[in-house]
Amino acid sequence: MSDETAPGTDEGCGPSCSCGAPGRSQFVAIGAPATGSGAASSTPGRHGVEQVLIPASTFVMGDSSEDQNPGDGEVPQHPVTLPSFSIDATTVTNEDFSRFVDATGYRTEAETFGFSAVFHLALQAPDADIMGRASGTPWWFGVKGADWRRPGGRHSSLDGLGDHPVVHISWNDAQAYCAWAGRRLPTEAEWECASRGGIDQAKYPWGDQEVDEGGWRANIWQGSFPQHNTRDDGYLTTAPVRTFEPNGYGLWQTVGNVWEWCQDWFDPGFYRRSPATSPDGPPTGAARVLRGGSYLCHISYCNRYRNSARSQNTPDSSMGNAGFRTVAA
């Protein structure tokens, strides 16, 4: 699980942070069973998310606004050339993921492990289900029974959340969905190119204006973290995937709302040796890349809701503010 914030090097989010929750191992250490995940059919299934065609292009990848976080490896800036590709206009929703589970019987890793990470203000569970707070990030609880169907714990449900992004999805779970749908996760370079919406070297998908200039543009934290969210943008946690305005390519909410898994292994030094054409990340690693920030990000302590911002977590980790979108295989 990632963290808003996790133990790291800067005062807000460190290099192990994805402004979501700590890694699963922090909760496994206090008594969770370490079981495997269910299997999914490899037969391509029905993927119903609207598609956006990203044109072949060369763009400048990396931080252009000098907002990078130490340890994340957002620099040096470097040109990247990509062929055209097709990507989801939105993150995969609860309704989309439900079709996958109904077709395959797949059980997510949160379900097989028996717990996931829930932000304290989103908690809807009996005290007996709370395994404990994460070390260094006490606003995150390991919660028994929390999973994609019950994002706040066993007293929560998906009522009214069908068009919200599915959460409590690990990288491995996203891979299982992709295998069923005949899709794949975007590479980190594809994700950043698509998020930029054709505006090269801009801080956000819409340009360089801040999120609240002229009306809210993304679902992030407002108020005093982690105790009080004023909900000026209308949401405490997730928003429907088609909230606010799409970027120039037609993608919705690539920044804010939920973190999005990418295909790549994470390496903060990779940009120094990244190929100039169609990079797909380092060959090995311990954690996978997450992009885009979430509803828990705020400029005062975690400014990772930017086009170039990077984070990471272990492939088996899940949390209440991370999901995914896919590209055509």
Q: Give pLDDT, residue 41.
A: 41
Q: How far apart are CA 116 and CA 109, in angstroms?
A: 9
Q: How far apart are CA 144 and CA 22, in angstroms?
A: 15
Map out the domains of the chain with their CATH numbers. Answer: 24-41+48-328 (3.90.1580.10)
Exposure string of 229-244, with b = 16+ CB inside 10 Å and e = fewer, is: beeebebebbbbbebb
Q: Give pLDDT, residue 15.
A: 34
- 8-state DSSP, 226: T
136 in Cβ contact with 6 (< 8 Å): yes
Which one-letter amino acid corresponds to residue 112? T
The whole-number mean pLDDT for each consecutive block of 10 residues of the chain, a chain of 329 residues, reads: 36 42 66 44 72 98 92 96 98 98 98 97 98 89 98 98 98 98 98 98 97 94 93 96 98 98 98 98 97 92 92 96 97
Q: Give pLDDT, residue 87.
A: 98
Across the strands, what pairs with 257? none
Q: How far apart are CA 143 and CA 238, in angstroms?
A: 18
Cα distances (angstroms) measured from residue 126 to each of 45, 130, 231: 37, 7, 25
> pTM above the 0.85 mark?
yes
- Tell me which residue of 87, 54, 79, 2 sits closest to 328, measured CA to CA: 87
